[in-house]
Amino acid sequence: MRKLLLAVAAAAFALVPALLPDLAQAQSPIVIKFSHVVANDTPKGKGALKFKELAEKYTDGKVKVEVYPNSSLYKDKEEIEALQLGSVQMLAPSTAKFAPLGIKEFEALDLPWLFKDDATYSSAMKGTIGKWLFQKLEAKGITGLGYWDNGFHMVSSNRPLTKPEDFKGLKFRISGSKIADQYFRLMGSIPQIMAFSEVYQALQTGVVDGCENTASNYLTQKFYEVQKDITVSYHAHLQYAVIVNSKFWSGLPPDIRAQLEKAMNEATDYTNLIAHQENEDALAEIKKAGKTKLHYLTDADRKAWQEAMRPTYTWAKGRVGQEVLDLVAKELDVKMN
């Protein structure tokens, strides 16, 4: 009997090493790689860090979120493909980045002078428009989790830009939106698509003459250091869509997914709440630095810009389709032609 017990004990002991890897794996946290292209000290950067904090808190450490800012993992031209392949689990690209996937409807959000203010944007994206657009992503293996605000675009160059004719012949970096391409062409300039991580050097060396972006990005990427003039035009809005690989998301345990949804909803509210103030603070910092001159549009200037860019709305029908334009027109009470 004693020999039998010893044999059983020995056999059980022999199984322990084989079981240890499974045990270790069961205790390992689920890793979410969250890649983005801007600095930590921006609305999107702070939103990603807030999500990390809340996700790890609500899952009691069962999930670990690794945030990779400033294109340190993938550039904005590469990241969506990396998400679809499962090399990264979460992104927050500008909504213009979905057009290469064949989902051009998102570009309707880039129409000039579309959103009256940040509150109008936030309300619209929580409603019919935002939900309808996210449904378009599902066929591409992507699930939309939230829309993050980054405020309104300013435009810069090494000469003042207050009249439409001031844009004539200048090369402007754009993120890829054909809507932005169109309104810059209408102003007489030459738009050029370029990765966000390459913009500073392109401005510094004169590869492009100027760009459009929000105050927080002008500050944190130091664009203002290589541009003599910035026009606080607020002519178009910059928004991000927080997205996740659908296969990864649907494969999570339901309780973990629910906790992550809670974390994302709270991180979204946080990001959208701070976006306006972050840009106001950034604008004040740029002004304080004294390296670039800020210009503001008069009512007559703004009207001239609006009239020059207005044909973008008619042109957009052939690009994004009537259905999304009708949704936007109804939600925001704007005319599309």
Residues 241, 132: Cα–Cα separation, whole Å: 13
Instruction: Please give the pLDDT value at position 200.
Output: 98
Q: What is the CA radius of gyration of the chain?
A: 24
State yes or no: pLDDT of 2 exceeds 90. no
Give residues with Cβ within 8 angstroms of 197, minimum separation 6: 37, 70, 71, 75, 76
| DSSP letter for each residue of 120-132 | HHHHHHHSHHHHH
Beta partners for 15?
none
Cα separations (Å) of 135 from 29, 62, 249? 30, 29, 15
User: For the segment 9-19, what is each residue's pLDDT rounded down to a tens digit?
Assistant: 444 444 444 44
User: For the segment 110-141, what is each residue's pLDDT rounded down to a tens digit?
Assistant: 999 999 998 899 889 999 999 999 999 999 99
Instruction: Please give the pLDDT value at position 26.
Output: 53
Other C-beta atoms closer than 10 Å to the C-beta of 174 total 21
Other C-beta atoms closer than 10 Å to the C-beta of 271 total 27
Q: Is the dihedral of CA 262, 264, 269, 270 positive or negative?
A: positive
pLDDT band at 25 (very low <50, low <70, confident <90, very high): very low
Tokens of 274: 């701070």
User: For the segment 232-269, what is each residue's pLDDT rounded down to a tens digit?
Assistant: 999 999 999 999 999 999 999 999 999 999 999 999 99
Residues 187, 157: Cα–Cα separation, whole Å: 14
Q: Are 141 and 246 in contact (CB under 8 A)?
A: yes
User: For the segment 279-330, what is each residue's pLDDT rounded down to a tens digit?
Assistant: 999 999 999 999 999 999 999 999 999 999 999 999 999 999 999 999 999 9
Cα separations (Å) of 323 from 106, 131, 139, 224? 12, 14, 18, 39
Other C-beta atoms closer than 10 Å to the C-beta of 232 total 17
Give residues with Cβ within 8 angstroms of 296, minimum separation 6: 231, 232
Torsion angle (degrees, nearest 10) of CA 211, 216, 218, 222? -150
List the strands of the sheet with 30-35, edge to edge: 63-68, 30-35, 90-91, 237-245, 142-152
Instruction: Please give the pLDDT value at position 222.
Output: 97
H runs (alpha helix) in 61-173: 79-85, 118-126, 128-137
State yes or no: pLDDT of 190 exceeds 70. yes
